[in-house]
Structure 1
Amino acid sequence: MTDLDKALADIVAIRAQLVRGSAFRGYGAAAFAATAGLALITATAQSLFLEDPTAQPLLFFGGWIATAFGALGLVGWEMRARARRHSGGFADAMIGDAVEQFLPAGAAGALLALVLARVSPETLWLLPGLWPVLVSLGILAGARVMPRGVALVGAWYLVAGLAVLVLTAESHALLPWAMGLPFGIGQGLMALVIRQASIPPQPSITHQAPIRHPASEAADGDA
């Protein structure tokens, strides 16, 4: 390896280290709030128009998969726009690093759904509880480059997913709100965390004693 090749390799390594060590500022509160609304709308629509979701798992999960793609599109569009505005030449690298954090959890959720649908359709009732658990793992994996407070969002998804598993353990029913509430509340919490992180800290106002000129002090002493 020539000195030039070594220097270029060092530059690439330093750039990657900078990307991984920097807080990602591409997330926007508006997109996450919109995804919370999508989850609540989907749960409401299925409650009104899907008479027996357990007997129609394809329609039930098809609606939620479409909602997930819509949510990914919203977050991805805003993430790309904000990253280019705030991260400059590191935008593409930081987007790739952010996606890399969530990719294992997303891939696991998709493959899990395919395997259960193929080999054990009667266990599909597990997915509304398992998906939030996987989302929590993805959030916690990316917490180091996300705003402070996202750990609480990850904890919410974990607790909500486990609660759904417990609540549906007897009936094995597919419930629209078992998906809508965990994701609606979770995405809303994420929007609040990102919104709070985007507010610049207010400078503290301290009261200081007035500074007196030595000449005035001398005049006071003579008086």
Structure 2
Amino acid sequence: QKAATTTFTCSSDASVQANYEPIPYKITVKNGKPSGTYTIGQKVSLQADYPAAGKEFDKWTVTSGKIELGDKSSYYSTATVKASDATITAVYKNGPDPANNTISGLQNDMEYLKSSTLTFNAVGAGMDNTNPNPGDYRYRPTGYQIGSVTGSWTQAPYQTSMAINAVGDYTLTVTYAKDVYDGNTWKADGTTDQKSITIHVVNTLSVKTGDTSPIIPLAIVAAAALAAIILLVVIRKKNRK
């Protein structure tokens, strides 16, 4: 605080009162608002700028001066002014990468027995975001197609089980819708992504399935080892005689 100055004349029995005015401090908010002049102890309501495409709000940081931040990870936060000018900056991070949209449970280019139960899961990038900020986005699995069969999901778990009763090669394609959080709810923005794998449905699994070891050399080694054991047993029997 600084004292207001004035000049006055008074008698010996007069009372005097000193008046004070608050000291203003400049608070600058980068990538957000509101910048302005505030006094010590004031609480400023912060709001980050809407993130650019491919970005999400990450956190608030104090880049100069002294000020007390509230929830650093919230798009809407507060800052309590200290006895200092200060600069607060909203920091952004990369959003979910659609390359991380995946299909699990089935492996690409693998063999599966006809009529066996096949189960697969669709995993969308950003679907683990349970506390979103405005501008956050995610990729939500919405449906699939395998051969002529199609299906859809309206909620988690994004999982399907099926049996294929005809041998052949089948391509499984999963579609993901991009949802953006508007501050109240997730809304699809019309963008989609697709991921595909191919599986082979067979009557009998080939040797290579589940084991890439060279079976012929292993068989030869195993046969040689067995012959050596038999020969050793024969020699021991002869020695006993």
Q: TM-score, normalised by structure 1?
A: 0.21
Choose between structure 1 and 2: higher strand proportion: 2
